[in-house]
Structure 1
Amino acid sequence: MSELVTGEVFNRLPERYRNRARQIAARVAEIDAVLARAQPTAVGDAVLRLRSQLRPQPDIALTEVASEFRVACSDLPEWAISEAANDYLAGRVENHTGQFMPTCAEFARHARSIIRPFIAERASLKNEAERLLQRAEDEARRNRMELERADPKMKERIADLVSSVRAGAVKAHNGQPHQGITDDTRQKLDALRKPRPDQPSRLFETRVVKGAQVGVH
């Protein structure tokens, strides 16, 4: 359990999620047992079975083949090695002629394809275990929000909030014509305006106008 869900996280989980954590731990333990590594003798037995019914690879001694198979299959369970040997002997392996012994790499690759569903399931369970606390917290948050929505007092507070927001919103234009400002308001605005002194025109000081005046004279 400690490898999948720590004690601290487990104690924070609701009971339903604790039960799921226990189920995950039990299933992962089963898969680990199924995938337990085989003894080297199991690999040697599979090589002997293959060698007795299939032609050996050219220029490769049997002792060398057995050693290479043990290294390539060192992390595989005994049952997968046996199933892989059965598939080769029965001609159930794609792209194998059924005449020569497979290489150690070919054999190990096929044996791993047999255990791939168990490895994928274990990875999926471990990923689920890592997310149990997040799922529990998300569910608790959703439940709390639903309870708040169902609370009449909360509904009243939400309605009041919506009303206050709408009251402070900019009112839409109703299509009525602009009424202008009153005379009293216009007088007040005029009183606030600062008088601006008249600025004499500098038009007659430009070279264009001066040149025209010279031409006239």
Structure 2
Amino acid sequence: MSELVTADVFNRLPECYQNRARQIAARVAEIEAVLTRGQPSAIRDAVLRLRGQLRPQPDTALTEVAGEFRLACSDLPEWAISEATNDYLAGRVENHTGQYMPTCAEFARYARSIIRSFIAERASLKNEAERRLQRAEDETRRIRIKTERADPKLKERVAKLAKSVRTGAAKVHTGQRHQGTTDEMREKMDALRRPCAVQPSRLLETRVVKGARK
């Protein structure tokens, strides 16, 4: 649980969010157990099985092949390595002729494709946990603000604060245009304005009106 939500944050979540957080944490723990790294012996056994049934790659030594396979598959679980070995030996791997051993990169890439769905599910669950945590925090914040705003004492404090801010402040005059402009100056400005010519209506020249006249 601590990997997804810390204990102090978890205790502040509403009960509905806590239930889902427990479910997510339980499923993530299951996936983590499924994806536990395998022992080097599992990789060695896979190499020996492949070498016993398939032809080795040209100009390769068994010790070198085993070492490269160990590096390429060091982060894979044992069951994925075993499943990949079974698929290669059974001819279920696409684009593999079934004659030569796969390279370490080919084998590791195919084994990772087997566990890809678990990795994607784990990432999706962690994203959901983060989104739910953010949603719970927003909901808690909204409830707290709503409660505070409904408090009569808070309203009284806000009113006093607003009154103290307005006390001694300069009054803002509204409804006056061009403050500081005299009547004489406004007359001069009006005299300088270019009169707008009245445009004759061209409505009578439209096809609709002409057609209605006929």
CA distance in 2, matches of 1:63, 1:110: 22
Matched with 1:90 is: 90
Answering whether residue 8 of structure 2 is matched by residue 2 of structure 1, we say no
Matched with 2:29 is: 29
CA distance in 1, matches of 2:45, 2:15: 48
Query: In angstroms, what is the RMSD of aligned CA positions?
Result: 2.3
CA radius of gyration, larger in: 1
Query: Any residues of structure 2 matched to 1:56-135 within 5 Å, and which?
Result: 56-135=56-135
Select between 58-67 and 128-137 the one with higher mean Cα deviation.
128-137
CA distance in 2, matches of 1:79, 1:7: 33
Residues 86-142 of structure 1 deviation map (CA, whole Å, 9 limit, x = unaligned): 111111111111100000000000000000000000011111111222222455688
CA distance in 2, matches of 1:27, 1:193: 83
CA distance in 2, matches of 1:73, 1:97: 22
CA distance in 1, matches of 2:184, 2:142: 61
Matched with 2:177 is: none
Question: CA offset at residue 31 of structure 1?
Answer: 0.5
Query: Any residues of structure 2 matched to 1:44-55 within 5 Å, and which?
Result: 44-55=44-55
Question: CA offset at residue 9 of structure 1?
Answer: 1.7
SS of structure 2 residue aligned to 1:93: coil
CA distance in 2, matches of 1:58, 1:102: 12
CA distance in 1, matches of 2:74, 2:96: 23
Give, as a single letter, the amino acid of the residue that structure 2 aligns with 1:104.
Answer: C
What is the TM-score with the length of structure 2 in the denominator?
Answer: 0.64
Question: CA offset at residue 8 of structure 1?
Answer: 2.5
Provide closer, same or farther for how the CA distance between residues 90 and 143 of structure 1 changes in structure 2, counting only shifts above 3 A. Answer: farther
Select between 14-23 and 73-82 the one with higher mean Cα deviation.
14-23
Residues 188-211 of structure 1 deviation map (CA, whole Å, 9 limit, x = unaligned): xxxx879x9xxxxxxxxxxxxxxx
Aligned residues: 149
Give, as a single letter, the amino acid of the residue that structure 2 aligns with 1:27.
Answer: R
Identity %: 83
